[in-house]
Structure 1
Amino acid sequence: MRFERLDLNLLVALDALLTERSVTLAAERLCLSQSAASSSLARLRDYFGDELMVVRGRQMTLTVRGEELREPVRAVLEQIRNTITVAPEFNPLTCDRQIKVVGSDYVTQVLLADVLCDLETSAPNMRVDILPLHDAPHEVIERQQADLLVSLDYALSPDHPSCLLFEDDHVMIGWDENPFMHSEITRQSYFDVGHAVARFGRMRVPAFEDSFMSRMKLARRVEVVAPTFLVLPKLVVGTRRVATVMRRLAEQMAQSEAIVLRELPFVMPPIREMLQWHVASGNDLALNWLVERIRLMASRDPAKAHLAASSPGRTASG
């Protein structure tokens, strides 16, 4: 590589020559033959228009120009070594960084909210921009439009690293005064009752339970389609409608909404929430740290994690 016509590889040779003041010793230091070291000195003399080193008696002495170059060249190489070979330190307490995370309102409610609460003390200068789910979630990672994607396993890109955060199953929610929620619920009655469902984006992408019904060719009476999971309680309270949502979310909803939970009258496979990042981000220390914090929070008991994050007197390790 050249800079201003200078082969930058010659800087290492120049440093050795000016330090050792001997072609022989410089060659040994560089693991080169003496002729190769002499060739490098010749090229350096030609570039700088100066002898750099001259023979005085039985020793070599630096010229005025050579002496002027000795310390600056050493400082430049030391800066390069420190930049390339020494990994930068990462301190979450002083990290000033914005990170974009794509995730649904469900993920935000049951996981990211607690993560952000933790970051207030563990990484107070880190800022998180939560973006809504794209119609094709994996594209935001492919195009590096976001740093992290939290989505279901089948929605990820196979070309980028990911990790499992948690699994969750589904339950039915309904108004706590809805007679249906207090009766025997059969498979047939489940499909006969009115449902509220969530679908996302411009393409109205169905949630997992909605697409599961379609794949199994099971027809529900869908009466309301909402753009988010979080509004579903408002759409069933005061009505005979029900909604099918993830258990973690339903349990949080039941703490503030007039709803009750019931088990489904049939088997539905659990969902697998995954975390993904671009393959080029492997050495991003801030991102790696945040990935581990998210994984740690996801591994906790959902109820305990939510209560701990909500406690004003809690502390967090960095």
Structure 2
Amino acid sequence: MRYQHLDLNLLVALDVLLEEQNITRAAGRLHMTQSATSGVLNRLRTYFEDDLLTQVGRKMMPTPLARELQSPVREILFKIQHAIAKRPVDDPATSKRHFRIMASDYVINVMLKDVLRTVHQQAPGITFEFFSPDHQSTGMLNRGELDMMVAPERFMVADQPSELLFEEQFVCVVCENNSEVGHTLTLDDWQRLGHIAVVFGRERQPGLEERLFAESGLNRRLEVVAHSYHSLPLLLLGTTRIATMHRRLAAHYAMLLPLRIFPVPVDLPVMREFIGWHRSLDNDPIFNWLKAAIIDSVT
């Protein structure tokens, strides 16, 4: 389809190119070769009579026009996608909607698994796909590639609506027979013993607790690094190591494994878990039904 001699399919490529600012990564997301992606960029440059992306050292930087185009192009694509995907059905029991949700394994375990059980009973035609949090989450929500994201407050998208779900604290967990820890876990114990921690994705993003410790001026002596909070309890067994994890998740595993739970020996801020969504979904009846089910599950 063309509008004023512009192939509208090129807008999808433009959106990805302006976000990635890298031909190789953009080509991967567009399922195109690097050569074809470079060709698309050249066609866009010709149409807009602007370089759009210019090479500065090893990076590609957007031109002033590209920066002005980025937000409206993304909004146009989202509106088109939402208009095409929208269905007249507003009854959850007969809906065939597919929801894409960004959420950590922690959120899925302590909350969303119960929501999905309820939804399966009341709306069996609704399906789900979960995405792990990463640096692309904000862009995916803005483009409508995610329906919602559930994450700590600091990761919410500034210009999209969000709502507080619950507050959570971090706790320290050790193996039940850890002889290095007595009836209490002291700061000296915490600094002396080895720790197990998590990182996420190829970017090796640390868990939120690592950032909170750093803000408190503390560094853990890491002996094991895993990719999931669910790995931590099992990796503690038979060791003198410490893991820091969410209270709800720790309590779940303490019912299944020989573990002891202690308060973190320093004051850490309470974690506030939010649900965020694109503002265009505000009046979507099926989405609002699902959102209400999620909120009700923690009240």
Q: What's the TM-score once normalised by structure 2's chain length?
A: 0.68
- What do the CA deviations read for 1:171-230 (whole angstroms, capped 9, x no partner)? 111111112343442112211111001111221111111111112221111111111111
Matched with 2:104 is: 104
Q: What is the match of residue 149 of structure 1?
A: 149
- The equivalences for 1:90-129 within 5 A come to 90-129=90-129
- What residue is the counterpart of 2:210 in the other structure? 210
Aligned to 1:266: 266
Gaps of 5+ in 1: 1-86, 300-318
Q: Matched residues in 1 for 2:139 and 2:271: separation?
A: 21
What residue in structure 2 maps to residue 164 of structure 1? 164
Match of 1:134 in 2: 134
In structure 1, C-alpha distance between the alignment counterparts of 2:139 and 2:184, rounded to whole Å: 44
Q: 1:234 is matched with which residue?
A: 234
In the TM superposition, 1:1-318 aligns within 5 A as: 88=88, 90-299=90-299
* Cα distance in structure 2, aligned partners of 1:272 and 1:175: 28
The answer to whether the Cα contact below 8 Å between 2:213 and 2:268 also exists between their aligned partners in 1 is no
Query: Which amino acid is 1:167 matched to?
Result: E
| Structure of higher CA gyration radius | 1
Q: How much does 1:137 deviate? A: 2.9
Sequence identity (%)? 32
Structure 2: runs of 5 or more not aligned = 1-86
2:108 aligned partner, one-letter code: T
SS in 1 for 2:114: helix
Whether the aligned pair in 2 keeps the contact of 1:190 and 1:265 (CA below 8 Å) is yes
Distance 1:286 1:95 in 2: 8
What RMSD, in angstroms, separates the aligned Cα atoms of the two structures?
1.5
- Aligned partner of 2:27 in structure 1 is none
Q: How many residues align?
A: 213
For 1:206 and 1:247, the matched residues in 2 are separated by: 18
Q: In 2, distance between residues paired with 1:184 and 1:105? A: 29
Task: Check the 8 A contact 1:137/1:156 in 2, yes or no.
Answer: no
Kindly state the Cα deviation for residue 136 of structure 1 after the two structures are TM-superposed: 4.5
The CA distance in 2 between the partners of 1:139 and 1:217, in whole Å, is 31
Conservation of the 8 A alpha-carbon contact between 2:167 and 2:271: yes
Shift in Å, 1:249: 0.7
The alpha-carbon deviation at position 162 of structure 1 amounts to 0.6
Shift of 1:107: 0.4
CA distance in 1: counterparts of 2:139 and 2:251, whole angstroms: 32
> What letter corresponds to residue 206 of structure 2 in structure 1?
P
Secondary structure of residue in 1 paired with 2:93: coil
How far off its partner does 1:145 sit? 1.4
For 1:219 and 1:133, locate their aligned partners in 2 and report how far apart those are by CA, in whole Å: 24
Given that 1:175 and 1:239 are in contact with CA atoms closer than 8 Å, whether structure 2 keeps it comes out as: yes
Q: Distance in 1 between matches of 2:264 and 2:188?
A: 11
Match of 2:133, SS? Answer: coil
